[in-house]
Amino acid sequence: MKLDKLITKKGLLFLAIFSLLVFVGDRINFSKLIGAENQFFTLFQFFGPVAGAFLGPAVGVLSVLIAEVASKIANNAAFDLVTVLRLTPMLFAAWYFGTKKDKLSFLVPIAAIILFIAHPVGRQVWYFSLFWTIPIIIKLLPKKYGEKAFLRSLGATFTAHAVGGAMWNYVVPMTPGAWIALIPVVIYERLLFTAGITMSFVALNTLLDRLDSKTKSEYVNVDKRYVLFRQIA
């Protein structure tokens, strides 16, 4: 992990922009998490994984962690077990979004499926964990499909869901009926998160491309394919 590459003008600029987005997004609740009090999905879910694409997977994960912890502190959040564990899913999502084909992208959802089915409750609703085959399938697609922003976003949000769901099954008491009732909710929420991550990725690519002339750095990876209104020389 080349941390020195984060300490560049453009790397720090991205971290500042991203941290501000996390701070604001964390304060806007989107939907309540089933089974726990005062735990919500927030607008952070709509853009969290994209840091892995701009800073590379390793430093992107670090930037997500820094932004998440700073936001929790600023919001005076209690660092109980559930809150601390909930920092984890987005880290894996950022890694997934920032990599191409690597072992971790396959092993994380596979491990989540195994852990979920190993639990007595999860074993009764094993088919719920089929959601977590989505990140695996996307990574196995040909490059011209698997690297599309929408599919990367879909894989990233379901990677976060896999990590969070597997942990949730062990930390928060849930009945088989509760998991079954979540199936249509998961489809609805994850498609919205996918759309949000995709749009955030395009927006940040466009913003950073516009700032490129003033903040010279080769480290922040701007994907020219997703820059709006790009001028062709």
Q: Which amino acid is at 44?
A: F
219 phi, psi to nearest 5 deg: -85, -40
What's the number of domains the chain is made of? 1
From residue 87, alpha-carbon distances to 123, 124, 128 in Å are 26, 27, 22
pLDDT (tens digit per residue) in 191-233:
999 999 999 999 888 887 777 656 555 557 778 888 887 654 4
Contact 119, 179 (CB under 8 A): no
pLDDT digits (tens, 9 = 90+) for 72-93: 787 777 767 777 777 899 899 9
Query: What residues make up the domain containing 97?
Result: 3-226
**Is 48 contained in some domain?**
yes
Its pTM stands at: 0.85
d(CA 161, CA 112): 9
Q: Which residue has the tokens 């300490």?
A: 7
Q: What does the alpha-carbon distance between residue 127 and residue 43 come to, in Å, rounded to a whole number? A: 28
Q: 232 lies in a domain?
A: no
